[in-house]
Amino acid sequence: MWMKLLLIVALAGIYTQAKEDGRGQISGEVEEARWRVAESPDAFKVRLSLKSALGDEAYTWNENELYLFRAAMAYTMRQYYMAEKGQQVNFTSENIVTSEVTPRISFFFYVTNPDAAATITKAEVEAAIRLSRGRINSAFLLSDDTLEFVGLLATLSPPAEPTVEVWLIVFGVVIGFVVLVGVFLIVSGFRNRRKRKLKMDDDDDEGKAGEEIESGGVTNSGFEEEDDRRTQL
Amino acid sequence: MADSEDAKSGDERPKWDNKVQYLLTCIGFAVGLGNVWRFPYLCQVYGGGAFLIPYLIALVFEGLPLLYLELAIGQRLRLGSIGVWNSISPYLGGVGVASMIVSFLVAVYYNTILAWVLWYFFHSFQNPLPWSECPVNEDLTGYVQECLDSTPVNYFWYRQTLNVTPNIETNGSLQWWLVLCLITAWCIVYICFIRGIETIGKAVYVTATFPYLVLTIFLVRALTLPGATDGLIYLFTPDWNLLLNPRVWLDAATQIFFSLSLAFGGLIAFSSYNPQKNNCERDAVLVGCINSATSLYASISIFAILGFKATSNYNTCVQGNIIALTNGFDVADQNITVDNFDSWLDNLNKTDPAKVSYLNLTECNLQTFLDESASGTGLAFIVFTEAVISMPGSQVWAVLFFVMLFSLGLSSMFGNMEGVLAPLHDLNLVPKWMPKELFTGCIFVLSCLVSLIFTMDSGNYWLEIFNNYVGSVSLLIIAFFEIIGVVFFHGMGRFSDDIEFMTGRRPNLFWKACWMCISPLLLLVVFVAYIIVQVQTTPTYPTWNPDYVDFPVTDVQPYPTWVFVICVLLVAIPVGPIPIVALYRLINRKLRRTGRTDTSRTSNPYANEGFNMDT
């Protein structure tokens, strides 16, 4: 009888201990204490900003969303191993060990190898995430800056080459326009001057005294010639 | 009688198609880049609304009299600056030469600024704007370090536009992209100058009016953006104590003087194309008042935008702090907002101050952001371009802004180049066989070649030197001699007769008092004060040096001796002709007196050489 009691007490003790360790979940294996997961050298910190990304349409974060994350990460690892190493390694959601989620919706996680009892290195996880970042983002309707993997270096988009030529195009348009207007003005100026010169030559032939001051000499305004009084020949 | 006089005075003098062209050209010449990027800065730094008092006093007692004088003398004597001063007195011929040299030197660097404006204009058609983000470095691993240390806007200006060297002694090479923009700018000015005022008069319809349109558009847009009113309040809040600082009065006087583009000879040239019977008094008052009103209007628009920019920066700063707190303390997303940020901070400080200080939050103060003022190229190419990025539809605003700057500068360039070309025409230096277009073209090619200096890597530093030394002391000296020349050599009585002939009534007591004592006195005081201020400070210049310890703060360096010698030369060379020509004429006259007949120097058109009294 007292053995049963002892057993019950012991089990209760273990249960509460496990509860304290796991801090809430009976299946304490998968979701371990936050500090324990964070301590792992291969752990990644994840941060989600649902309200910033989706505003009113933000969904609430619950256990199922966390499960989706684990499944997405398992998929990521599978794809990485297939693409880089040619192996089909069957990662499952249980290989993704996550910590407790804070109100900020941030948590730590690391990946264990299903075949061996080892943790996948951070570098490999990082490479895997880079490969499938777009798919992970779209699973949560988020983007690179609202679903953050803290410490992951962002890949920079290569600069779009054509931008170098845009300014040259505008420059070409402007200078072409300027040259056209300039040529037009110069040519029309010359033509006007030739027309005026021809007109003046005609007038000269009729005997009108030249008004040209190019001939030199000093004009004496006391003796002004009233041109319009001259009779036409 | 006057008309036939015009027709007989040599080559028909070109004339304006109508009065509006003349007024718009003068207004365009006076209203330039300084109205947009110098006056708002002065207003802000010198106590907002209070600055208007010394500014308006300087306008009334210094700006308007000098303006009236130049317009009147040009209109009466109908010659460019050299001819006008030669007519008044041969000893003063040097004043005209000085004006011409200053106009040339200013034109050369002013057009470089227009080249920079064109460069930014060409780049405003891209999405996203090139100065909004840092470029990626060569191995695509990160952003360019220099850009990360400063800001993308600064990087685009100092590195991608200017490619500036760390100091003025390192010359670098000519930047091909700037050379292209410079050639374009000179070509645009040239086509407006091809047929003299015939083409200028048409061009100013656009270049003089477009800036007002853009300023209005900007004002309306800015007032709909958050923070605009903060900027305006900040600009106009008067700080009356600053009026006790003599520096404020000095800067107001110099600002009004340079703003009206006096002593360049351009205004004299423009008014010389007028018919003689024209009310130049009203023109002068109109041009002067419109110039000041434009400065005020521009500062409203600019500061509305700057207020918006300061608010944007402040919000970004606060958001940065919010994210730091949210992530650091794992608070739920968007629980901390701009409004409750302060209360959250207090709470967290009480519970965990060590962690809060570990987060290294930046101090966000709207006043600090509003204080980030700038003038000159800094305002246009750094501060304003940053503001434009935050406005929706940035490309449109950028294009509008740079076209406005270009038209402001272009109409001022007309005056500058006119101050160079008109005296050359009057000196009859143009060979008869050369058509006017070719001669103008030659002068422009020469100017373009000289302005290539500013396309070097160190070009920006040289431009600052030209800006500070050419367009300052020399103009004060020239203006002083102009007023002395008219009042004492030409004679106040004779000048009043001229004005009565042109406008129909003699100048009233106010103008006479200003011309005879107030304005010369003011000019003298400003000149002396300016010299004193310059002498007290060792000439230094800010450099952009990525290797500097405190980068991105500019490294302030003193000018090397050879550069300082050039600065002194830049002041001496324009002013030099004044004493040189006076001495030359004096010596000539003494030589002639020793026996030769003294041919009459007066411009009396009725003199008949057949009856010479001296024989």
| Min Cα separation B550/chain A (Å) | 27
Give percent of chain B with pLDDT exceeding 70.
94
Scanning B129-175, the segments in alpha helix (DSSP H) are 145-149, 152-155
Please judge whether B333 and A49 are an interchain contact, meaning their C-beta atoms are less than 8 angstroms apart.
yes
Looking at residue B111, its pLDDT comes to 95
- Region B143-167 average pLDDT: 87
In chain B, residues with a C-beta closer than 8 Å to the C-beta of A48 are 333
- In terms of Cα–Cα distance, which of B112, B87, B58 is closest to B377? B112
Q: Tell me, what DSSP letter sits at residue B58?
A: H
- Region B347-371 average pLDDT: 82
Same domain, A73 and A171: no
A89 in any annotated domain = yes
- Residue with the bigger pLDDT between A145 and B519: it is B519
Which tokens go with B303? 């500061």
A82 in any annotated domain = yes
A62 in any annotated domain = yes
- Region B348-357 average pLDDT: 81
pLDDT digits (tens, 9 = 90+) for B360-407: 788 888 888 888 777 788 888 988 899 899 888 999 999 999 999 999
Q: Are B108 and B447 in contact (CB under 8 A)?
A: yes
**The last residue of a domain, from among A101, A116, A149:** A149
- In terms of Cα–Cα distance, which of B356, B327, B354, B358 is closest to B342? B356
Looking at residue B6, its pLDDT comes to 39
CB atoms within 10 A of CB B562: 9
The residue type found at B222 is: A
Cβ density class A30-65: b for 16+ within 10 Å, e for less:
bbbebeebeebebbbbbbbbbbebeeeebeebeeeb
Does the ipTM surpass 0.85? no
pLDDT digits (tens, 9 = 90+) for B36-71: 988 988 888 888 888 999 999 999 999 999 999 999
Please judge whether A48 and B333 are an interchain contact, meaning their C-beta atoms are less than 8 angstroms apart.
yes
DSSP B497-548: HHHHHHHSS---HHHHHIIIIIHHHHHHHHHHHHHHHHHHSPPEEEE--TTS
Q: CB pairs below 8 Å between A and B: how many?
A: 104
Please judge whether B191 and A185 are an interchain contact, meaning their C-beta atoms are less than 8 angstroms apart.
yes
- Region B464-474 average pLDDT: 86
In chain B, residues with a C-beta closer than 8 Å to the C-beta of A186 are 194, 437
Q: Are B368 and B291 in contact (CB under 8 A)?
A: no
What is the Cα–Cα distance from B38 to B44, expressed in whole angstroms?
Answer: 10
Tell which of B133, B191, B445 to mutate to test the A interface (max A CBs under 10 Å). Answer: B191
Task: Point out the residue among A47, A103, A182 whose CB comes nearest to the CB of B194.
Answer: A182
Nearest residue in A to B181, CA atom:
A171
Q: Does the structure show a pLDDT above 60 at B521?
A: yes
Same domain, A40 and A110: yes
What is the Cα–Cα distance from B442 to B436, expressed in whole angstroms?
Answer: 10
What sign results for the dihedral spanned by CA atoms B201, B202, B208, B212? positive
Tell which of B12, B122, B183, B338 to mutate to test the A interface (max A CBs under 10 Å). Answer: B122
What is the residue-averaged pLDDT of chain B?
87
Q: Are B500 and B506 in contact (CB under 8 A)?
A: yes
Same domain, A47 and A131: yes
Cα separations in angstroms, B370 against B306, B311, B359: 7, 8, 26
Rg (CA), chain B: 27
Same domain, A108 and A143: yes
**The last residue of a domain, from among A149, A177, A192:** A149
Q: Give the lowest-confidence range in A92-101, B184-193, B355-364, B554-563.
A: B355-364
Task: Point out the residue among A104, A105, A220 whose CB comes nearest to the CB of B608.
Answer: A220
Looking at residue B295, its pLDDT comes to 93
Cα dihedral B547, B552, B556, B561, rounded to 10, equals 40
> Coil, helix or strand for B558?
strand
Q: Are B47 and B243 in contact (CB under 8 A)?
A: yes
Band of the pLDDT at B213, cuts 50, 70, 90? very high
CB atoms within 10 A of CB B265: 34
Residue ranges at the known binding site of B for Na(+): 28, 30-31, 35, 259, 291, 408, 412
pLDDT digits (tens, 9 = 90+) for B117-136: 999 999 999 888 889 888 87
Same domain, A134 and A198: no
Q: Does the structure show a pLDDT above 80 at A80?
A: yes
Instruction: Identify residues of A whose CB sits under 8 angstroms from chain B CBs.
Output: 47-52, 102-106, 156-159, 163, 166-168, 170-171, 174-175, 178-179, 181-182, 185-186, 189-190, 193, 211, 213-214, 218-222, 224
What is the Cα–Cα distance from B446 to B264, expressed in whole angstroms?
Answer: 19
Q: Tell me, what DSSP letter sits at residue B185?
A: H
In chain B, residues with a C-beta closer than 8 Å to the C-beta of A102 are 330
Looking at residue B605, its pLDDT comes to 65
Looking at residue B610, its pLDDT comes to 65
- In terms of Cα–Cα distance, which of B245, B256, B110 is closest to B533? B245
What is the Cα–Cα distance from A36 to A23, expressed in whole angstroms?
Answer: 12
- Residue with the bigger pLDDT between B431 and A174: it is A174
Looking at residue A208, its pLDDT comes to 47
- Total number of domains constituting chain A: 2
Nearest residue in B to A170, CA atom:
B122
A210 in any annotated domain = yes
- Residue with the bigger pLDDT between B602 and B182: it is B182
Looking at residue B286, its pLDDT comes to 95
A17 in any annotated domain = no
Task: Point out the residue among A158, A190, A224 whose CB comes nearest to the CB of B140.
Answer: A158
pLDDT digits (tens, 9 = 90+) for B252-265: 988 888 899 999 99
Residue ranges at the known binding site of B: 28, 30-31, 35, 259, 291, 408, 412
Give percent of chain A with pLDDT exceeding 90.
9
Band of the pLDDT at A30, cuts 50, 70, 90? very low
| Min Cα separation B426/chain A (Å) | 14
Same domain, A184 and A110: no
What is the separation of C-alpha A5 from the centre of its chain, rounded to a whole number of angstroms?
64
In chain A, residues with a C-beta closer than 8 Å to the C-beta of B331 are 103-104
Q: If you search the block for the tokens 């891209």, which residue do you land on?
A: B126
Please judge whether A220 and B607 are an interchain contact, meaning their C-beta atoms are less than 8 angstroms apart.
yes
Write the CB contacts of A100 (distance below 8 Å, at least 6 apart in sequence). Answer: A23, A24, A31, A33, A34, A107
Please judge whether B118 and A174 are an interchain contact, meaning their C-beta atoms are less than 8 angstroms apart.
yes
What is the Cα–Cα distance from B191 to B176, expressed in whole angstroms?
Answer: 23
Cα separations in angstroms, B525 against B55, B255, B471, B522, B579: 16, 15, 18, 5, 21
pLDDT digits (tens, 9 = 90+) for A96-117: 888 888 888 888 888 888 888 7
- Region B165-179 average pLDDT: 88
Looking at residue A216, its pLDDT comes to 57
Band of the pLDDT at A10, cuts 50, 70, 90? low
Looking at residue B241, its pLDDT comes to 86
Tell which of B114, B333, B338, B433 to mutate to test the A interface (max A CBs under 10 Å). Answer: B333
Same domain, A179 and A136: no
Nearest residue in A to B180, CA atom:
A171
What is the Cα–Cα distance from B459 to B461, expressed in whole angstroms?
Answer: 5
Which tokens go with A9? 């007490």
What domain range includes position A94?
36-149
Same domain, A171 and A215: yes
What is the Cα–Cα distance from A132 to A77, expressed in whole angstroms?
Answer: 9
- Nearest-5° Cα angle at B583, B581 to B584: 60
Which secondary-structure segment (H or E) carries A45?
Answer: strand A44-48
- In terms of Cα–Cα distance, which of B607, B578, B604 is closest to B480? B578
pTM of the model: 0.81
Task: Point out the residue among A47, A156, A178 whose CB comes nearest to the CB of B142.
Answer: A156
Task: Point out the residue among A103, A171, A186 whose CB comes nearest to the CB of B437.
Answer: A186
In chain A, residues with a C-beta closer than 8 Å to the C-beta of B432 are 214
Same domain, A145 and A175: no
A160 in any annotated domain = no
In chain B, residues with a C-beta closer than 8 Å to the C-beta of A179 are 187
Please judge whether A182 and B123 are an interchain contact, meaning their C-beta atoms are less than 8 angstroms apart.
no
DSSP A70-107: HHHHHHHHHHHIIIII-------GGGEEE-PPPTT-EE
Q: How far apart are the first and last CA of chain A?
A: 153
| Min Cα separation A68/chain B (Å) | 20
In chain A, residues with a C-beta closer than 8 Å to the C-beta of B125 are 166-167, 170
- In terms of Cα–Cα distance, which of B173, B196, B99 is closest to B456? B173
- In terms of Cα–Cα distance, which of B274, B264, B276, B267 is closest to B69? B267
Looking at residue A178, its pLDDT comes to 94
Band of the pLDDT at A154, cuts 50, 70, 90? low
A1 in any annotated domain = no
Q: Does the structure show a pLDDT above 70 at A27?
A: no
Please judge whether A189 and B194 are an interchain contact, meaning their C-beta atoms are less than 8 angstroms apart.
yes
What is the Cα–Cα distance from B12 to B504, expressed in whole angstroms?
Answer: 25
Band of the pLDDT at A173, cuts 50, 70, 90? very high
Q: Give the lowest-confidence range in A6-15, B85-94, B165-174, B186-195.
A: A6-15
Nearest residue in A to B428, CA atom:
A214
- CATH code of the domain containing A109: 3.30.70
Looking at residue B437, its pLDDT comes to 85
**The last residue of a domain, from among A103, A121, A149:** A149
Looking at residue B328, its pLDDT comes to 80
In chain B, residues with a C-beta closer than 8 Å to the C-beta of A190 are 435
Q: Does the structure show a pLDDT above 60 at B470?
A: yes
Looking at residue B85, its pLDDT comes to 92
Write the CB contacts of B378 (distance below 8 Å, at least 6 apart in sequence). Answer: none
pLDDT digits (tens, 9 = 90+) for B275-313: 989 999 999 999 999 999 999 999 999 889 888 988 988
Looking at residue B114, its pLDDT comes to 95
Same domain, A108 and A185: no
In chain A, residues with a C-beta closer than 8 Å to the C-beta of B187 are 175, 178-179, 182
Looking at residue B533, its pLDDT comes to 85
Same domain, A41 and A77: yes
Task: Point out the residue among A175, A185, A220 whose CB comes nearest to the CB of B194.
Answer: A185
Same domain, A101 and A178: no
Write the CB contacts of B561 (distance below 8 Å, at least 6 apart in sequence). Answer: none
A77 in any annotated domain = yes
Q: Does the structure show a pLDDT above 50 at B7?
A: no
Please judge whether B333 and A104 are an interchain contact, meaning their C-beta atoms are less than 8 angstroms apart.
yes
Q: Give the lowest-confidence range in A158-162, B123-127, B460-464.
A: A158-162
